[in-house]
Chain A
């Protein structure tokens, strides 16, 4: 019987990690992530979770400890945010390149300067090319489910890649919501203990990891990683289907809202999709055919699925809570524009950068940008920096 409880979203992740019966947690506290590992440390201290909890001196060490433990064969978890993720940057590539199924929660936070503990997606976007599978959740239910699924996906022998579960700092992390959780037996069936990997670090059977990669090996190594993450999409969908059968909650690469007859859609990831849905409803009341696409899977990016679902639209308004200074708008916008390049008839695609450093994106702002796109208003640079005071 499904149990419905109220939890802070951060604690929903902690609970999922406990149910996943992890072997090793290595983490360094950083706002707005701290509540996740704080609760996990309590579980370990109270004897509710039999895991090694390693207090490390930095996020670089947190990821390094997870890499070592995962190479031995342990199920590992860490969590971080903002500057912490930036400090981990180097080791993120090592984890993915060594094909270690580590799961990490990222409480998305703006990167300094100025010192901002508040949410946007600039932290993970600065590490988007690290080779990790990257998902974004909107609420307690979704991050609970994604975290459990992440272990299954990561550890699948056809994948063997680390997975990052992202959710917005404060806007999602610190909110108390109701969610339905799985029982331990259900999780045990869905997520059995990690299977022994083909190669592990063990003194009886020595192996070398991350040796020098001369130019005649490196291309093949990188291509192997590219194939692995591209092929992971199939497994991700398979796991989502199976999880749906257990929980009744079916996931996909994105979640459409009032999209079928829409002329314009807002596309974005994370917690602000809730606000965007209200904006869509209000615009619908005004007779405007507006929809929403909540993107869930950012890596591997679902190019084909996205084009198929949105090619009937007149326009797409892509909202990024991050940007690439001197580049072409926000990172989601760049991907979406690329996805449509080969189509003869395609929607107009306009990028909006908003919600930086924790600035809220209000319902009227979502309505405004959708109406702007719907009216076919000329936009000088194809993308707009919203919310800037002139």
Chain B
């Protein structure tokens, strides 16, 4: 489904601006909500250990892992909540959860 890449709703509307019953009249708006803000631990992938099986991709509850044709994977940190399921499930122990710290 093609989507216009813009969020048309006012995130803090007055009660009159709020669509009736706060119905969201635009599909797929969750893409505009960056749940990566919630994260306190970040998955770091050791590319040398990764066997490219894609189990992390299939387990990720937020579809925040991209799995490419060549078997390599990449975490989309805009959406990754840092739950650690990927690190737990990785059969090659290639994913480490690293605490997010302010630099």
Cβ of B12 and Cβ of A199 under 8 Å apart?
A: no
* Contact residues in B for A206 (Cβ distance below 8 Å): 27
Chain A interface mostly helix, strand, loop or mixed? loop
At the interface, yes or no: A388 with Cβ under 8 Å from chain B?
A: no
Q: Count residues on chain A whose CB falls below 8 Å from chain B CBs.
A: 20
| Smallest CB separation, B25 vs chain A (Å) | 5
Cβ of B15 and Cβ of A224 under 8 Å apart?
A: yes
Cβ of B21 and Cβ of A98 under 8 Å apart?
A: yes
Cβ of B29 and Cβ of A209 under 8 Å apart?
A: no
Given known A206-B27, A224-B15, contact A213–B20 (CB-CB < 8 A):
no
Given known A208-B29, A216-B12, contact A221–B21 (CB-CB < 8 A):
yes
| Smallest CB separation, A197 vs chain B (Å) | 9
Cβ of A208 and Cβ of B21 under 8 Å apart?
A: no
Chain B interface mostly helix, strand, loop or mixed? loop
Cβ of B21 and Cβ of A97 under 8 Å apart?
A: yes
Closest to A94 in B: B21
Cβ of A207 and Cβ of B12 under 8 Å apart?
A: no
Cβ of B15 and Cβ of A199 under 8 Å apart?
A: no
| B residues 8-32 in Cβ contact with A at 8 Å | 11-15, 18-25, 27, 29
Given known A220-B13, A220-B14, A223-B15, contact A209–B21 (CB-CB < 8 A):
yes
At the interface, yes or no: A381 with Cβ under 8 Å from chain B?
A: no
1/0 per residue, CB under 8 A from B, across A201-238: the answer is: 00000111111010011001101100100000000000
Closest to A222 in B: B15
Tell me the bound Cα distance from A213 to B14 in angstroms.
14
Closest to A213 in B: B22
| Smallest CB separation, B22 vs chain A (Å) | 5
Tell me the bound Cα distance from A213 to B21 in angstroms.
11
| A residues 170-213 in Cβ contact with B at 8 Å | 198-199, 206-211, 213
| Smallest CB separation, B35 vs chain A (Å) | 11
The one of A160, A208, A216 that contacts B20, using a Cβ cutoff of 8 Å: A160
Cβ of B24 and Cβ of A207 under 8 Å apart?
A: yes
At the interface, yes or no: A99 with Cβ under 8 Å from chain B?
A: yes
Cβ of B22 and Cβ of A217 under 8 Å apart?
A: yes
Tell me the bound Cα distance from A211 to B19 in angstroms.
12
Tell me the bound Cα distance from A180 to B42 in angstroms.
72
| A residues 74-106 in Cβ contact with B at 8 Å | 97-99
| A residues 92-140 in Cβ contact with B at 8 Å | 97-99
Tell me the bound Cα distance from A206 to B24 in angstroms.
9
Cβ of B18 and Cβ of A224 under 8 Å apart?
A: yes
| Smallest CB separation, A96 vs chain B (Å) | 9
Tell me the bound Cα distance from A206 to B29 in angstroms.
11
Tell me the bound Cα distance from A216 to B11 in angstroms.
9
Closest to A219 in B: B15
Closest to B12 in A: A216
| B residues 44-86 in Cβ contact with A at 8 Å | none
Chain B CB count within 10 A is highest, among A160, A211, A213, A220, for A220
Cβ of B18 and Cβ of A220 under 8 Å apart?
A: yes
| Smallest CB separation, A214 vs chain B (Å) | 9
Q: Using A99-B21, A220-B18, A221-B21 as known contacts, list a sample of 6 further A-B pairs with CB atoms less than 8 Å apart, ordered by residue number in A.
A: A207-B25, A209-B23, A216-B11, A220-B22, A223-B15, A224-B18
> Can you list 12 contacts pairing A with B, beta carbon distance less than 8 Å?
A98-B21, A199-B20, A207-B27, A208-B23, A208-B27, A211-B24, A220-B14, A220-B18, A221-B21, A224-B18, A224-B20, A224-B21
Chain B contact residues, CB within 8 Å of chain A: 11-15, 18-25, 27, 29
Top-7 shortest CB links A-B: A208-B24, A206-B27, A220-B15, A99-B21, A223-B15, A98-B21, A221-B22
